[in-house]
Amino acid sequence: MKILLPPSETKHEGGDGSPLDLDSLVLPSLNERRSAVLEALIDLAADEEAARRVLKLSEGQRGDIAHNRALRSSPTMPAIDRYTGVLFDALDARSLSAASRRWLGEHVWIHSAPLGPVGALDALPTYRLAAGTSLPGLPALRRHWAEATSAAIAEADPSFVLDLRSEAYVALGPVPGSVASAYVRVVTAHGRALNHFNKKSKGLLVRAIAEDRPRVSSLRGLRAWAQKRGIVFRDGAQPGILELVVEE
């Protein structure tokens, strides 16, 4: 099983890892496109006013431009530790056991805008780029990434993909129809979609799976594990949708 997570706009700064090495990332067939986005971000960062405008940054976020300027040389840390925010705070990967962290590295991809899906333990620098940004010199990120990312997922040939991404990141690389998958929505018992608890619930779900490290290779296997854990899944109204039912 592979789990696809969205990234977060907020990130821990710094790190003690070596600079970004594209050859160390998962899905190496994406490296040419990764390099193109990196170069576009670095070039854009040379003009701070243009970078602020394109990236929609406030005056107080100018530091993010410097991060982009140093993408090839700044220190890195594991992706699962780089991102902060509600989902990643709930997952709290730093407090997991070494075995659970290894499981995350083997089973979790985080879908970044500049690099596409990366492994949970892949080493990333700090950056600023959102899924909906259009970079000078490149097509819209959706056009740049979608077909190549779907092909890379198919090539990786996962037995089953649990897709926890936001719709904006799904658009950057839909799971191909040839791969068994389920897209998760967080709802109440009455079927109401939840915004406030959406990210937190997904983070807690991934933490629970990492703690138990079940041998799951299908939706049926995921449901069996969830039932033992007291986690409630049910079929959504549309094919391919899996509802995670939580209390309000």
pTM: 0.96
78 close to 123: Cβ distance less than 8 angstroms? yes
Give the amino acid at 125.
P
Domain spans, the chain: 2-246
149 token code pair: 């990312």
Cα 175 to Cα 181: distance, rounded to the nearest angstrom = 7
pLDDT tens digits for 212-221? 999 999 999 9
Cα 56 to Cα 50: distance, rounded to the nearest angstrom = 10
> What is the block-wise mean pLDDT of the chain (248 residues), using blocks of 10 residues?
97 96 98 98 97 93 94 98 97 98 98 98 97 96 98 98 97 98 93 80 98 96 97 93 91
- Alpha carbon 8 to its chain centroid, in Å, reads 8
CA Rg value for the chain: 18
Cα dist from 156 to 13, 21, 223, whole Å: 31, 20, 23
- pLDDT, residue 247, reads 82
Strand-pair partners of 78: 123
DSSP letter at 157?
Answer: -
- pLDDT, residue 191, reads 73
pLDDT tens digits for 47-96? 999 999 999 999 889 899 999 999 999 999 999 999 999 999 999 999 99
The answer to whether the Cα torsion of 192, 217, 117, 146 is positive or negative is negative
Cα 137 to Cα 43: distance, rounded to the nearest angstrom = 10
- pLDDT, residue 193, reads 75
- Alpha carbon 227 to its chain centroid, in Å, reads 26
Instruction: Specify the pairing of strand 77-78 against strand 108-112.
Output: unpaired
Transcribe 30-44 into DSSP letters: GHHHHHHHHHHHHHH
- pLDDT, residue 243, reads 96
